[in-house]
Amino acid sequence: MRQAGIDDYEDFARQVLAAIPDRPISFEVFSDDFLEMEQQALKIATWGPNVYVKIPVTNTRGEAATLLIGRLAKRGIKLNVTAIMTLEQVNEILPALIDCPAAYVSIFAGRIADTGRDPVPLMRAAAGIVSRQSHIELIWASPREVLNVVQADEVGCHVITATNDILKKLPLLGKDLTEYSLETVKMFRGDAVMAGFAI
């Protein structure tokens, strides 16, 4: 939203909710202080019945948000616990979400992959853990490629936060590779002709 030049968070959020009243939408708290986060979360939750409040798994000092998550869950706030990257974090927050009416556990699989680790085993394990609670869903966050859509589906994720770039590539799913190879050669040839290069 910052990149889009939005300067009034609540006004923009309410416009989004008016346009999309029947799908879950997450809005994030901004504070780094748990008490202030709680106040922000309570306010955000009043914006609509389909609102999930995004709470980071820790603050910037690395302090776990588990107690805050538990308090908000007991108050009936729908939550999206975000920036998760380990199974230990998943296991720590799940008990706090027991009383939550509905929640998302958002694991940043793309960022895990950026560290050279395969996120699939972790996501599969997380899906197994999360599946024990019918009111909690798993998000594959920060995907990097269309393959992640397939992987998220295969491991049992409920949601993937696909960007426009990834959505545009979805028609390539299952494309004949020989045909794709030929299209690529034609593209290379076209680029060479347009460049006017000679050897």
Q: Which residues contact 82 (CB under 8 A, 6 or more apart)?
A: 26, 28, 54, 55, 56, 57, 106, 108, 141
pLDDT exceeds cutoff 90 at 40: yes
pLDDT exceeds cutoff 90 at 1: no
Q: For strands 159-160 and 136-140, give the pairing.
A: parallel
Share of the chain above pLDDT 70, in %: 100
pLDDT computed for residue 4 by the predictor: 85
pLDDT exceeds cutoff 90 at 14: yes
Active site residues: 54
Three-state DSSP class for residue 178? helix
Give tens-digit pLDDT for 44-103: 999 999 999 999 999 999 999 999 999 999 999 999 999 999 999 999 999 999 999 999
Residue 43: which pLDDT band, with cuts at 50, 70 and 90? very high
Judged by phi (left if over 0) then psi (alpha if -120 to 50, else beta), residue 156 lies in left
The span from the CA of 125 to the CA of 54, in Å, is: 23
DSSP H helical ranges for the chain: 9-19, 34-45, 66-74, 87-93, 109-114, 120-130, 146-155, 164-169, 177-195
> At residue 12, what is the residue type?
F
Average pLDDT of the chain, as a whole number: 96
pLDDT computed for residue 199 by the predictor: 85
The span from the CA of 135 to the CA of 115, in Å, is: 31
CATH number corresponding to 9-173: 3.20.20.70
Helix (H) or strand (E) holding 137: strand 136-140
Tell me the pTM: 0.92
Give tens-digit pLDDT for 135-154: 999 999 999 999 999 999 99
Give tens-digit pLDDT for 182-197: 999 999 999 999 998 8
72-95 b/e (C-beta count within 10 Å ≥ 16 → b): bbeeebbbbbbbbbeeebbebbbe
